Amino acid sequence: MVPPQPLVLIRCYRIPFSTNVERVSLAAGHKGLEIEWIDVAPDDRSPVEAVSGQPLVPVLVAGDEVVSDSPRILDWLEERFPAPPLLPRDPVRRAEVQIFADWFNRVWKRFPNAIDHGTGDPAEHAAEMRRAVERFEALLSGRDYLCGEFGLADVTAFPFLKYASLGLQAGDTDSFHAVLAGQLPLRPDSPLHAWVARVDARPRG
Ligand SMILES: N[C@@H](CCC(=O)N[C@@H](CS)C(=O)NCC(=O)O)C(=O)O
């Protein structure tokens, strides 16, 4: 079934190569939503600040609603356009997926960020990232997506974990992305390679 089209135009501010922007694009693609992207220069966030009061992208604008922070934008999309869903209907499965996304955002992301910012012991952070790779691989044992069906877990993690398989794109000079590309070594037979290819082939909004 074709998903219903939104009654209001959905706009979203972005910069090139943004991981958090790609989450929104994957979620919108899954829901069959078209987004009007507003490209801003990475070194001039004044349009983003003017609309949202803070400088980071993504920022979604729909009618008089302005939503910043990718997890909040994903929640907004799920609430406004529930089908097809990013979260399982079953409350237990739903909570499990939400716990994965929270762990990814609040715990996992701290390690590459700390390496990028030069805080703490880089060897310890790198070891944490390698341990997490084993967890992602275990989640993909015998199934195509991190929590079973494609959804919030994949949308949340893919833009970061893709660097393990795809490396840096030409023209991407973001030092955080270089950390991701350098600190997530994968075995050639890691199931993360096939997962990255599978998610990368999905539609974008
Ligand atoms: N928690 C925010 C973080 C947003 C964020 O860090 N955005 C990056 C792009 S992926 C950005 O705008 N970085 C520019 C900067 O730090 O100046 C989210 O998930 O949307």
The protein residue with its alpha carbon nearest to ligand 1, atom 9, reads 18
* Apex 181 CA angle, 56 and 75, nearest 5: 40
What is the structure's pLDDT at 4?
Answer: 63
Q: What is the mean pLDDT of residues 58-87?
A: 98
Query: At the topology level of CATH, where does 91-200 sit?
Result: Glutathione S-transferase Yfyf (Class Pi); Chain A, domain 2 (1.20.1050)
Confidence of residue 171 (pLDDT cuts 50, 70, 90): very high
Which CATH superfamily includes the segment(s) 10-80? Glutaredoxin (3.40.30.10)
Answer yes or no: are the C-beta atoms of 125 and 115 closer than 8 Å: yes
Instruction: Please write the tens of the pLDDT for every residue from 96-107.
Output: 999 999 999 999
Confidence of residue 2 (pLDDT cuts 50, 70, 90): low
Asked if residue 25 has its Cβ within 6 Å of ligand 1, the reply is no
The protein residue with its alpha carbon nearest to ligand 1, atom 6, reads 56
**185 CA distance to ligand 1 centroid (A)?**
24
Closest CA to 205 of 68, 22, 7: 22
What is the overall mean pLDDT for the chain? 96
Checking if the pLDDT of 80 tops 80, the result is yes
**21 CA distance to ligand 1 centroid (A)?**
8
Listed by start position, the domains of the chain span 10-80, 91-200
Closest CA to 108 of 173, 151, 153: 153
Structure-block tokens of residue 63 = 């009618």
Closest CA to 86 of 95, 96, 75: 75
**107 CA distance to ligand 1 centroid (A)?**
16
The alpha helices in the chain, defined as continuous H runs, are 19-30, 46-52, 70-80, 91-103, 110-117, 122-139, 152-166, 175-182, 191-200
Pocket residue to mutate for ligand 1, from 56, 70, 76, 169, most atoms within 8 A of Cβ: 56
**102 CA distance to ligand 1 centroid (A)?**
16
The protein residue with its alpha carbon nearest to ligand 1, atom 11, reads 56
The protein residue with its alpha carbon nearest to ligand 1, atom 14, reads 56
**120 CA distance to ligand 1 centroid (A)?**
21
Answer yes or no: are the C-beta atoms of 115 and 122 closer than 8 Å: yes
Instruction: Please write the tens of the pLDDT for every residue from 102-157.
Output: 999 999 999 999 999 999 999 999 999 999 999 999 999 999 999 999 999 999 99
Instruction: Please write the tens of the pLDDT for every residue from 19-72.
Output: 999 999 999 999 999 999 999 999 999 999 999 999 999 999 999 999 999 999
| Nearest atom (ligand 1) to Cα of 58 | 20
Distance CA 157, CA 65 (A): 26
Radius of gyration of the chain (CA): 17
Closest CA to 177 of 187, 188, 192, 166: 166
